[in-house]
Amino acid sequence: MRLVKNEQKKDIHNITMIEAVNLALDFAMTESEDVVVLGEDVAVNGGVFRATDNLRDKFGVKRVMDTPLAETMIAGVSIGMAAQGLRPVAEIQFMGFIYAALEQLIGHAARMRNRTRGRLTCPLVVRAPFGGGIHAPEHHSESTEAIFAHVPGLRVVIPSSPRRAYGLLLSAIRSNDPIIFLEPKRIYRASKSEVINDGVGLPLDKCFILRQGADMTLVSWGAMISETMQAAEELTQKGIQCEVIDVASVSPIDMDTILKSVKKTGRCCIVHEAARSCGVGAEIAAGLSEFAFPFLKAPISRVTGYDTVMPYFKNENNYLPKIEKIVSIVEESVGACTRNEGETRHAKI
């Protein structure tokens, strides 16, 4: 990687997640001339969500490129660039449009390292906004991270806050693996937090423990972190302390952290927006029953979207998992075991 030397004092920004994405891209493009950005409307328009705002003006048309409406081509060109030494960051405008690029991503990007016996890597980041909650038309709201999580050779990373978006995107760009970077658009501008623009990346293979608790482990990622944290907050009032884990990298999953937590709490609920069947939650549940079975005090539970096509915006709110649902599932899990737990439990409630 060629590095461009720069000198600037520590600067702190109070920004939203979408601005954090922009900040990380800016830093990475300044850090290395190999980083290029391409996608539909990313240059002149600065992206439909403004993730790439100002980048064309700052880094020029050779490094920030508008492409035709052809996702297969975006992925294919990016793979070619990556294999030959660049670090492309491609944007798929909405995750619902990414399927045209699957042949390139699954058939080529994911296996480049293996195919060439390590001679070539594919340091490619494909960014795509995903998830519901913004009342968008069809194809704009689904959460199909499990498709990519199932493919060996791809990393799937999902930030859930401005700081994590900044740190994870930087690490993703610096990583030599092809990475599907899914941005939960519902929380793109939901809130601001302070992000230090120091170029420090966050690990791609670790879960983030957002909250400590001894009674039950709540595992989630993406926009659902918000509901999960609020549920945990509500449960505190009922005397139930939940540990909340942001998986962040749904592939590969840091099962060690999740296992350690569940061995402590004995109970686990997985919350995700994606449809239930064959979701990433099922994989986590399977891992828990394999390696934490003797520690479980209640069955592993899931709060998820439904096994239907993501509904249009009128019914969107009925589809998305609710705080009340998480709270009631937790209460059920914890209550289910009151008889066995002895005095400690009784004393707490």
Partner 1 sequence: MPKFNLPDLGEGLQDAEIIEWVIEEGQNVEVDQAVVVVETAKAIVELPSPEKARITKFCVNVGDTVDVGQPLFEYQGIDVTCESESSTQNEVLSTKVQPVFDESNVTDSVSVVGVLPSASDEHAINMHENFSFESHDEPAENELPKKRRTNDKLVAPPSVVAMAKKLGLESLLYDHTYGDIGQKDLLDIYKQRQNGSHTSGPEVHNDKVIKLSGARKVMAQTMTKSHQHIPSVTLFDDANIHHWEKGTDITLKLIRAIVAATKHVPLLNAWFDEENLSVQLFDDVNLGVAVNASDGLFVPVIRKVQTLTDFKTRAVLDKMIEGVNHRTIKAQRLLGATISLSNFGTLSGRYATPIIVPPQVAIVGIGTIREQPVVRDGQLVVGKIMPISLSFDHRAASGADAAAFMESLIQSLEQ
Is 115 among the residues that bind partner 1 (CB under 8 A)?
A: no
CA distances from 296 to 65, 93, 207, 291 (A): 52, 42, 20, 10
Nearer to partner 1, 63 or 104 (CB): 63
Is 67 among the residues that bind partner 1 (CB under 8 A)?
A: no
Nearer to partner 1, 72 or 121 (CB): 121
Is the separation of the CB atoms in 143 and 120 below 8 Å?
Answer: no
What Rg do the C-alpha atoms of the chain give, in angstroms? 21
Nearer to partner 1, 86 or 104 (CB): 86
Among 40, 91, 215, 243, the residue binding partner 1 under the rule CB under 8 A is: 243
Which parts of 3-62 interact with partner 1 (CB under 8 A)? 3, 5-11, 15-17, 19, 22-23, 26-27, 30-31, 46, 48-50, 53-54, 58
* Secondary structure element (H or E) that encloses residue 194, with its range: strand 193-196
Which residue, 289, 244, 235, is CA-closest to 263?
289
135 carries an active-site annotation:
no
Please count the residues of this chain forming the interface with partner 1, following the rule CB under 8 A.
90
User: Judging by beta carbons within 10 Å of its beta carbon (0-12, 13-18, 19+), is residue 217 exposed, middle or buried?
Assistant: buried
The DSSP code for 332 is H
Nearer to partner 1, 101 or 247 (CB): 247
Which parts of 222-241 interact with partner 1 (CB under 8 A)? 225-226, 229-230
Phi, psi of 182 (to 5 degrees): -100, 125
Identify which range of 61-69, 80-88, 100-108, 202-210 contacts partner 1 by CB under 8 A: 202-210
Rounded distance between C-alpha atoms, residue 22 and residue 91, angstroms: 12
Contacts of 45 (CB under 8 A, 6+ apart): 66
The three-class DSSP label of residue 223 is coil
Closest approach, Cβ 210 to partner 1, in A, equals: 5
Among 103, 138, 198, 332, the residue binding partner 1 under the rule CB under 8 A is: 198
Identify which range of 76-84, 97-105, 205-213, 302-310 contacts partner 1 by CB under 8 A: 205-213
User: Residue 136 forms beta bridges with which residues?
Assistant: none
Is 341 among the residues that bind partner 1 (CB under 8 A)?
A: yes
Among 65, 102, 120, 337, the residue binding partner 1 under the rule CB under 8 A is: 337
Rounded distance between C-alpha atoms, residue 274 and residue 287, angstroms: 19
Is 207 among the residues that bind partner 1 (CB under 8 A)?
A: yes
Cis omega (within 30 of 0) for bond into 68: no
Of 13, 108, 139, 140, which one is the catalytic site residue?
140
Task: Count the Cβ atoms, other than its own, within 10 Å of residue 36.
Answer: 20
Among 65, 77, 120, 136, the residue binding partner 1 under the rule CB under 8 A is: 136
Is 343 among the residues that bind partner 1 (CB under 8 A)?
A: yes
Nearer to partner 1, 328 or 338 (CB): 338
Return the active site residues: 140
